Chains A and B, each alone.
Chain A
Amino acid sequence: MTFTLLIQSILAGLTNGFVYGLIGLGIAVAFRGARIINAMQGDVALIGAVMAYSASVSFGLPMPVGFVIGVVAGGLTGFLVDRLMIRPTLKRRGSEDSLLLVTLGGAFAVSAAVLLYFGRDSYPIPGIGGNDIVDVFDASMRVHAIWLIVISLAVVAALRWFYAKTLVGQALLAASIDPEGALTLGINVGRMRALTFGLGGLVGGLAGVLVAPLINIQYEMGLLLTLKGFAAAILGGLSSPFGAIFGGVLLGLVESLAVVTISSGYKDVVSMTLLIAIMIVLPQGLFGRRGRLGG
């Protein structure tokens, strides 16, 4: 293996890892604030990407405006998921299983709606820096991928500050960990859950507008993203936003290094073996305990 090949595999691993991590981040935010696994997270990203594309390409708005519209659309979708799906299910004493099934059904519905209104074609969306690439020891990385990494890290830092330092963030955690206790303190648990899903939706929308320039927008992309994001979130610890990003990057790097050191045919075997081993040793994930404590 040449040095260039090693560097290229690390760059590819980082790109893929932050993609997984960004989706996992949204799943972790929803789980941290509501103890609900949102199987729609990848499809929230799809909605964000479709809205960004429509705004900037179909309606000719500047790309940054399109990106903002995509992120806001993700947030709105998250809010609507709570109002139209989660709240009615909980009202009828729905279990964790039924909530998972409801969001999974929602994921298929979003995919079908995008197919109906947006079509089967895949749509390219320009990234930050266009298609420019950066050379690193003869290996290459897209400028957009570097921005994806920087923005992801900034979002994790912002979430950490939000949960640790703001009243709303702490109320949100309290409502999640002990809903009845939070009620006695005057915290509106339902509103906190809506806020959680809105926040998860914003992260999902952001993931959509950042991931779409790498893979093109396509109606089926949501579920594929959810699967990898879910693996990242579990690896890092479902309730830890930082853990989701860390889990994603670890997964991406292991996959990529397996490609160059062993074989691309064994990439998933290696990464999933690692996932199983970590789950046996640390059932809460790498940062599960810290996430529970608010870190």
Chain B
Amino acid sequence: MKRRTLAAGAFAAALIGSGRAKAQGATGEPIKVGAIISLTGPGAGLGQPQRQGMLLAEKTINAAGGVGGRPIKLFIEDDGSKPDIAKSKAERLIFDEKVSAIIGPSLTASTGAVAALTNAEGMPELCFTGLGPRTELTYKSLFHLLPPQDLNARAMLEYTTKELKAKKIGILHDTGYGQVVTNQLNTLREKYGVEFSAIEKFEVGASDVSAQAAKVRAANPDVVFVIATSAVPFRNARQVKIEQPIVSAIGSSTYDYVRGFGEYADNIVFPEFLVGEQPKDSQKAFVDAFRKEYGSLPKNFEAAAWDGVHIVAKAVEKAGPRASGKELAAAMRAPYSGVMASYDFTKDDMTGIDLSSYVFSKLVGGKFERLPFTTK
């Protein structure tokens, strides 16, 4: 596993390095790749970083000579976070633009809508969602670039039970993302031998959740899980004097949310894949390239998008320039060591990400620090 990870780092570094050396780049007939992401609507928080990661990958691959001398050309479409729009954009990309593969969408509902089309065509689709409805297991050209929520929940419980040795957990979650993760936590409760002493929820966009936070505090848990896509519950938790460690989920680990935590951005742990401040060796080249291009540090979604474009490029290289969609999908069904994670697309869940790809970060004085803890 480690050897694959190092190889991926070397591959990315080589691409970036050779990109600098080869000023001429790729010039042949472009390899068309469609991308459908949520640049507007509720999913815009996902789509914007995904766009940055994909564009950087396209630029880097082309600067390094493309794939067999042919440049990658991305056709990025915004689905407005709506499945029906995602489907119509996919139709245009597949039948009008005649793309070789689809990357995206950003949201589960849109993934399902697009996958019905790509599956019928046998076209590879690399979506930015974890495994969704069970029907997705029957789609053999649908690959997931993010882990299922079950794995995110397991990562939270691994840290809580093995590093913090805690058994009594209080949960404060929103009714969107937080609810999905909490559902998974409930299914894992017995396996990890933990007790949820309080589970309190609040609506997305709530202005004050201190009543729920106080109820969690009153249950006197060893650790508190705060799972939400806003800063409010994190602030309220500390304001009602929850002094226990807070463990959160990957979806709450964006710089955007953390900025909103203010002075309370401390002693909060996130299981995630990339800590831009202290990346793994295999991630350093990507982080440096990203910082140079955009002047900021990347997070998990940017890395997944970078990986998505590279997976398509590698599959085209392996299957040949005239490969059909089905041949391309077949070429993808293999292990791949990416920047974000180590994937294995031969697995049933069409992602193959396991707990060993996770890293754990902790907010200390408003800054992310990578923790030495691993699940190995």
Q: Is B281 an interface residue (CB 8 A)?
A: no
Q: Which 4 A-B pairs have the closest CB atoms?
A: A8-B214, A12-B211, A224-B205, A9-B211
Q: Do B40 and A112 have beta carbons less than 8 Å apart? A: yes
Q: Is A214 an interface residue (CB 8 A)?
A: yes
Q: Give the complex CA separation of A115 and B256 in angstroms.
A: 14
Q: How far is the CB of B320 from chain A (nearest CB, A)?
A: 39
B204, closest chain A residue (CB): A224
Q: How far is the CB of B76 from chain A (nearest CB, A)?
A: 16
- For the residues of B in contact with A, the DSSP-based class is helix
Chain A contacts of B202 at CB under 8 A? 264, 267
Among B48, B207, B241, which residue has its beta carbon within 8 angstroms of that of A15? Answer: B207
Chain A residues within CB distance 8 Å of chain B: 2, 4-5, 8-9, 11-13, 15-16, 19, 112, 115, 120-124, 131, 133, 138-142, 145, 211, 214-216, 220-221, 224, 256, 259-260, 264-265, 267-268
Q: Would you give the 0/1 interface string for B122-141, flagging 1 where the beta carbon is closer than 8 Å to chain A? A: 00000000000000000000
Q: Do A264 and B212 have beta carbons less than 8 Å apart? A: yes
Q: Do A8 and B205 have beta carbons less than 8 Å apart? A: no
Q: Do A220 and B42 have beta carbons less than 8 Å apart? A: yes
Q: Do A9 and B205 have beta carbons less than 8 Å apart? A: no
Q: How many A-B residue pairs have CB under 8 A?
A: 96
Q: Give the complex CA separation of A224 and B179 in angstroms.
A: 19
B208, closest chain A residue (CB): A15
Q: Is B181 an interface residue (CB 8 A)?
A: no
Size bracket of the B interface: 35 or more
Chain B contacts of A8 at CB under 8 A? 210-211, 214, 240
Q: Do B200 and A264 have beta carbons less than 8 Å apart? A: yes
Chain B contacts of A259 at CB under 8 A? 200, 211-212, 215
Chain A contacts of B257 at CB under 8 A? 122
Give the contacts of B247-261 with A (CB-CB under 8 A): 256-257, 259-260
Q: Give the complex CA separation of A267 and B211 in angstroms.
A: 11
Q: How far is the CB of A112 from chain B (nearest CB, A)?
A: 7
Q: Give the complex CA separation of A268 and B256 in angstroms.
A: 28
Q: Give the complex CA separation of A98 and B241 in angstroms.
A: 49
Q: Give the complex CA separation of A123 and B256 in angstroms.
A: 8
Q: Is B262 an interface residue (CB 8 A)?
A: yes
Chain A contacts of B204 at CB under 8 A? 224
Chain A contacts of B203 at CB under 8 A? 268
Q: Do B207 and A5 have beta carbons less than 8 Å apart? A: no
A-B contact pairs, 19 of them (CB 8 A): A12-B210, A15-B207, A15-B208, A120-B48, A122-B230, A122-B231, A122-B256, A131-B264, A139-B214, A145-B208, A214-B207, A214-B208, A215-B232, A216-B232, A220-B42, A224-B204, A259-B200, A260-B211, A267-B202
